[in-house]
Structure 1
Amino acid sequence: MTISNHALARTVAEGLLSVGAVSLSPDDPFTWASGMHSPIYCDNRVTLSDPAVRSLIAGGLATLAAENFPQADVVAGTATAGIAHAALAADRLGKPMVYVRSAPKDHGKGNQIEGRLAAGSTVVMVEDLISTGGSVLDAAAAVEREGGRVLGVLAIFCYELEKGRQNFEKAGLPLYTLSNYPTLVEVAASSGAISAAQQAALSTWSSDPQAWSEAH
């Protein structure tokens, strides 16, 4: 899990906070679909409604792709949240784009990958949010089954969970993100959005989310 530009990471974090794509609430935790209690909730779809933040993300993802995967033939977005961001980045790069469904369609041709993916194509995956990485790694496996060769993964934001790090290491795929949880907490603290006590509570979450959930 790598951030190649820390100034950009802070700018992206500021953008995510400013449009409400990421919310922090250590004193009144959110409940995720899994039932786990968390001090953070992220919905990067919100960024599509803000032209400035949307453009910042599109440019950032395109730059990450050009710098780290210049040999990529195709940009692939994960359904559904990664689709728009992949399309915007692919447009800036002048490259073809496809998207990967979570499962094959149960009608028509039964496609799981929508768009044209020629056998042997090198692919960079685009996801909006990385927690454990399961969804995008499943999508990458689908691309490989269809004859593509996945070079790596790009994402807007990463929670920096140990489980995610392990999953990407096991898959042998590099991950580059525009921003991450530690940077966002730092930005929130420096702007006065959270107190020092709240920053301390937030800093312990990503090291052991399950323990944090049980304690809150």
Structure 2
Amino acid sequence: MGDLADLVLQLYDIEAFKFGSFKLKTGLQSPIYIDLRVIISYPDILRSVAVHMNEILKRSNVSFDSICGVPYTALPIASIICADYKRPMLIRRKEAKNYGTKKLIEGKFQINDRCIIIEDIVTSGSSVIETADSLRAEGLQITDAIVFFDREQNGENNLQKRNIRLHRVLKISEVLGYLVQHGKISEEISENVKEFINQNQTQLPTLNIEIENKTISIPIRQRFQTIMKEKRSNLCLSADLTNLDEIIKLSKQVGSNICMLKIHSDILTDFSMDKIQQLKDISRKLNFLLLEDRKFADIGNTVKLQYTKGLFRIVEWADLVTVHALPGECIVQGLEQSAQSINEPRGCLLIAQMSSKGAFTDNEDYVKGVVECAKKYSDFVIGFISQSRLTTTDEFLHCTPGVHLNNTGDQLGQQYVTPRQAIDERGADILIVGRAILDSINRAKTAEEYQQQGYQAYEEIRKI
């Protein structure tokens, strides 16, 4: 009998595997129940599990900078692996603290570090995906997960769809084989379990993450909310400049005051992937999102190419993009499909209303259609570019351009509102400010002024 078979029998003896009829949280009646939480009371078994998982880790030949265990059962396993084999560890909280640093991810890491996830059991893969999304939202690269026990209910395929490779110590079929071989269960029980597994394959779950009593459906929205709260900023700088070197310099000056930087890559005279990577690195270091104001407005297949190919390869560096809903749902579908090829969270803002005088978007039926499209694709659409509050819930962020402390206008039809007017009268969450900062003699000081006035109004009016 090999070591792995011995471990399976030990787990059976401590009732980590139970056979009978058990109601799962999905409501299904299962002939098997697996509970590895019990191993924390058996130090030798706990260490044996960790040793076997570390062996898989070594054989996988995956390079990584740290390990993160999925809370809660995998945490002691990950702790032993990290302590015994001197591997750096991160901890993902199930909820952020409401005091102190208010971090969701604990531990030391750098942007673009590679982190491998440790989990005890995979069924649908939802816990691994949720942990991966939280880590990716902090700028970490997640490509692999190691699990002790795979229930073989399509979790591996679900994880592959999120660009995560699954490595496992044991499959349920192997466990059943060991238990039958050593007389712990009958062949009939084994076949009943296999039939249940085959008939109850899981599908990729839709994740819901709770932040500040608001239901947030995707990690890019979670990250946005976290940035706003930590930096006390709802300021998006519209950097409508034609020189990327100047934008990089500007981002260093005002990055600590903004939650998002908006650019137009197609007007840049010096665009290169090396330079845009510099800007991306600054955004991670100073904790703001990059919004490419591309205003996609074509059929699904075309926007997929515009998003991923060509000179700009927008999907590789832009956290968010702007999108016109004029072509219909196909445009969101195309972008969302393309975004799944990237190991970082991506999203979009639908353009519902514009700040220019006489805009054709000033149509009630059109705006309603935009909102319905957002609701249907809320895993990718995180909000709107708008001039008014379009929904009664906090599910979507409302980003309002044309904000200026001097609410006059320009000669080309741009209409301005003050930060307080934008939030109070127009229902804005995010203030998009451009020329007021760009034309300032002291851009950093002006950005700080807009940050302070904007977030103060946001707190008072939204009562957060």
Contact 1:9 1:180 in 2 (8 A): no
**2:178 counterpart (179, 187, 198):** 187
Q: State the match for 2:42 in structure 1.
A: 50
Segment drifting more, 46-55 vs 98-107: 98-107
2:112 matches 1:112:
no
Counterpart of 2:69, as a letter, is G
Contact 1:74 1:98 in 2 (8 A): yes
Q: State the match for 2:14 in structure 1.
A: 19
Q: Which structure 2 residue ranges, 5 or more long, are not aligned? A: 202-464
**1:126 counterpart (103, 118, 124):** 118
Q: Which has the higher contact order (CA 8 A, sep 6+)?
A: 1
Distance of 2:61 and 2:75 partners within structure 1: 19
Contact 2:53 2:146 in 1 (8 A): yes
Contact 1:10 1:183 in 2 (8 A): no
Shift of 1:65: 1.5
Distance of 1:70 and 1:76 partners within structure 2: 14
Shift of 1:8: 5.5
Shift of 1:70: 4.5
Q: Give the percent of matched residue pairs that are identical in Structure 1 and Structure 2.
A: 22
**1:160 counterpart (152, 157, 160):** 152
Counterpart of 1:200, as a letter, is E
Q: State the match for 1:205 in structure 2.
A: 196
Shift of 1:186: 1.1
Structure showing greater Rg: 2
Contact 2:47 2:77 in 1 (8 A): no
Distance of 2:51 and 2:15 partners within structure 1: 20
For the residue of structure 1 that corresponds to 2:25, the secondary structure is coil
Q: Which structure 1 residue ranges, 5 or more long, are not aligned? A: 1-6, 211-216
Shift of 1:116: 1.9
Distance of 1:106 and 1:19 partners within structure 2: 38
Distance of 2:152 and 2:7 partners within structure 1: 16
Q: State the match for 2:187 in structure 1.
A: 196
Counterpart of 2:85, as a letter, is L
With the length of structure 1 as denominator, give the TM-score of the two structures.
0.85
Kindly report structure 1 stretches of 4+ aligned residues shifted beyond 4 Å: none
Shift of 1:130: 0.6
Distance of 2:36 and 2:118 partners within structure 1: 13
Q: State the match for 2:368 in structure 1.
A: none
Contact 1:48 1:54 in 2 (8 A): yes
Counterpart of 1:173, as a letter, is I
Distance of 1:19 and 1:69 partners within structure 2: 33
Counterpart of 2:142, as a letter, is V
Distance of 2:185 and 2:123 partners within structure 1: 22
Q: State the match for 1:73 in structure 2.
A: 65
Cα RMSD between the aligned structures? 1.8
Q: What is the aligned residue count?
A: 200
Shift of 1:69: 4.1
**1:149 counterpart (141, 144, 147):** 141
2:161 matches 1:173:
no
Segment drifting more, 123-132 vs 33-42: 33-42
Distance of 1:123 and 1:168 partners within structure 2: 15
With the length of structure 2 as denominator, give the TM-score of the two structures.
0.41
Shift of 1:199: 2.0
2:78 matches 1:86:
yes
